[in-house]
Amino acid sequence: MSLTALVVDDEPIARHAIVRLLGDDPDVEVIGECGDGVSAVEAIRGHSPDLVFLDIQMPAITGLDVLATIGAQRMPATIFVTAYEQYAVRAFEANAVDYLVKPFSRERFAETLRRAKQRLAAARGADADTTARIMQALDSLRQRDDYLQRLPVRVDEHVVFIDVDDIVWIKASRNTVLVHLADRAHELRETMAALAARLDPRHFARVHRSAIINVRRVTAIHPWFNGHHVVTLDTGQQLRMSRYQHEAFLRLATLRREE
């Protein structure tokens, strides 16, 4: 089976590594390389490759932007390339979408290419099926992008941004919240309910009326009195979980197992 391939990645080293590995396969002809999203769109439209290796995290125009511009229905078979990013990997795996995590081994590359070839050689109905799977994966990624990634806080006369991944827990205090990091805390003039709505529920859980925790910072969950539980965080902080947050407790346990 003879295939044409386009390689899209803003990192020259990663791009050249893919081209070099494809050169070992006599069935694949590399018809172009692109280092940005604009040239990728032009190349896909102009050359209609059978297979595209598409980097997700590119500046300005991302791999997702490229796909949105071309349209999932008109996009060639695609292998997504990403730096290790849990959300993307989970979305791709859940929907059986081919992907490579940088840096990847020769064996992993060969297996991914083999699987892509099989899908390209499958029945005609596979095109519609592949489009549906890609769209489902992208919907998961877009949903994640809707949530807060960085939080602006005031320090003296300046505003600084903190990554939400660095938040350990959040305490409510009337119309303000205290955002606790591992080594410091910041006061933010926002209600707990408003902030909770902007945080990814897969990573943050409200365990008490006045407390939200980062589930990735949980080290233990222990039963306490009268249906309550105590959550221990990796900073040593212990927080009581309301007995009415039993569902949150179950989701916490599930998320911890997945990670």
**Domain map (residue ranges) of the chain:** 3-145, 150-258
Q: Which residues pair with 53 in a beta bridge?
A: 7, 79
Residues 203 and 212 sit within 8 Å (Cβ to Cβ)? no
Tokens of 119: 């899908």
**Are the CB atoms for 134 and 99 separated by under 8 Å?**
no
Both tokens of residue 173? 């205090």
Tell me the sheet residues that pair with 79: 53
pLDDT digits (tens, 9 = 90+) for 23-42: 999 999 999 999 998 899 99
φ, ψ (nearest 5 deg) of residue 233? -100, 165
Is residue 230 predicted with pLDDT exceeding 80?
A: yes
Within 8 A by CB and 6+ apart from 134, the residues are 67, 72, 75, 78, 95, 97
Q: Is the pLDDT of residue 109 over 60?
A: yes
Say if pTM beats, i.e. exceeds, 0.95. Answer: no
pLDDT at position 243, please?
A: 66
pLDDT of residue 94: 60
Over 60: is that where the pLDDT of 247 sits? no
Is it the case that residue 86 has pLDDT exceeding 80? no
**Superfamily designation of domain 3-145:** Response regulator (3.40.50.2300)
In this chain, the answer to whether the domains covering 3-145 and 150-258 adopt an identical fold is no
Side-chain-facing half-sphere of 232: CA atoms under 13 Å: 7
User: Confidence class of residue 146 from pLDDT cuts 50, 70 and 90?
Assistant: low
Which of residues 162 and 95 earns the better pLDDT score?
162
* Residue type for position 139: D
Average confidence score pLDDT of the chain:
82
Q: What is the CATH number of domain 150-258?
A: 2.40.50.1020
Instruction: Reply yes or no on whether the pLDDT at 143 is more than 80.
Output: no
Gap between the terminal Cα atoms of the chain = 39
In degrees and rounded to multiples of 5, residue 90 shows phi and psi of -65, -40
SS3 212: strand
- Burial pattern 123-148, b for ≥16 Cβ within 10 A else e, equals eeeeeeebeebbeebbebbeebeebe
Identify the residue with better confidence: 73 or 2: 2
